[in-house]
Amino acid sequence: MTKFGRYAFELGGALAAYIVCLVLSLRLLSVGGQGELMRLALTLLPMLPGLAICWVILRGLRRLDELARKIQLEAIGVAFAGTALITFSYGFLENIGLPSLSMFVVWPLMAGLWFVGTIIGQLRYR
């Protein structure tokens, strides 16, 4: 199995576990009748495979060669700075009446900017 194939397999498995835990958590919470501690545990259940996703990504980064790591570092820098600028700007816009956004918006924004940064880095170092 290639490095990318192994990474894709590991990430796919962790994402599948996340989806299963998310659906299970939401269904059990919608039934109700649990105590506060159980509701807390059910709410955070999807974070267990979330930790696995982080672990898989870090392992994938460690397997990269120097140039690929450099590209990823720059892409993460673009994602970090871009997410900060966009979320702070939107936070100020909320002061003039724009609706508040959920924190669930932050990660997809950062992931999208990471993807854009990766493409830019790959084009730059061709």
Averaged pLDDT, 65-93: 97
pTM above 0.75, yes or no: yes
Place of tokens 């990660």: 107
**Distance from CA of residue 86 to its chain's centroid?**
17
* pLDDT value at residue 126: 86
Averaged pLDDT, 102-114: 95
Return the closest-CA partner of residue 16 out of 49, 44, 56: 49
pLDDT digits (tens, 9 = 90+) for 16-73: 999 999 999 999 999 988 999 999 999 999 999 999 999 999 999 999 999 999 999 9
Confidence of residue 124 (pLDDT cuts 50, 70, 90): very high
